[in-house]
Amino acid sequence: MPRHLALAPPRVIVEERPDGTRLVRSPEPLGSHAGRITDWLARWAEDRPDTTFLAERSPDGVARVGYREAWLSVLCAASGLLDAGASAGRPVMFLAENSIDHALLALAAQHVGIPAVPISPAYSRMSTDHAKLRAIFDLVQPAVLLVDDPSAHAAALSKLDLDEVSVVLERGTHPGARPISSLYETTIDDAVDDANGDVGPDTVAKILFTSGSTGEPKGVLNTHGMLTANQQMISQCWPFLEEIPPVLVDWLPWN
């Protein structure tokens, strides 16, 4: 038998203006919600510590990480990012496909007020001059760069000035780089709580770059409040999520 899924009723308010403009909005007010992305991770680490948070297929099978394990990894990595000099002005840049490590490092950065800046891997793998990648890199001035496969990005990495950048690898090796496991092994200190205390709804959580099809890619700021409000909207449109925890197949790239 198909399961009945409770959905929000499709209601809209249409305002007609004298100039012919129509304003369409929902009559449903947005409910209260977390002001910071990682507030939810902390909650589920406490309430459902062993429930799978992220899963990823690999040649060896399916890797899984629960909420509690993810939360501890995020706190350790956040401490490591602060030690590496990452900050609101010197973000964490990602030259990597979707992965568990990508997600955990992005959350670690966001937990302490450091913007996560995912970049299209195509700017590295499918470019010969790497102009877009170099333009974004020079604009962002990251303190930390996560690379999933240094062999696939070797040509691009050779075009970047990495002297003052901590390069972190999901796998493989590269001169001067370190494995992401080193971040997960960082000791959590008071700096993490101090930095998290300064994070609020208006703190930039993520910078997404446009495709650059009409010029240089442009960075679009996404705040914690924007992202959490979006999740609250989804939960109100799909109230069945309160009773049926979703399992999401995440295929679209995070950049």
**pLDDT tens string 72-125:** 999 999 999 999 999 999 999 999 999 999 999 999 999 999 999 999 999 999
- Coil, strand or helix: which one is 148? coil
The residue length of the chain stands at 255
Q: If one looks up domain 72-242 in CATH, what number appears?
A: 3.40.50.980
Cβ-based neighbours of 240, under 8 Å, separated by 6 or more: 5, 6, 7
Q: What is the mean pLDDT of the chain?
A: 95
Strands (E) in 27-110, as ranges, are: 52-58, 61-66, 92-95
- The pTM (predicted TM-score) of the whole model is 0.93
Q: What is the rounded CA–CA span in Å between residue 62 and residue 100? A: 11
pLDDT digits over 40-66, tens only? 999 999 999 999 999 999 888 999 999
Cβ burial 185-213 (10 Å sphere, 16+ → b, else e) = ebeeeeebeebbeebebebbbbbbbeeee
pLDDT digits over 141-194, tens only? 999 999 999 999 999 999 999 999 999 999 999 999 999 999 999 999 999 999
Cβ-based neighbours of 63, under 8 Å, separated by 6 or more: 55, 56, 57, 100
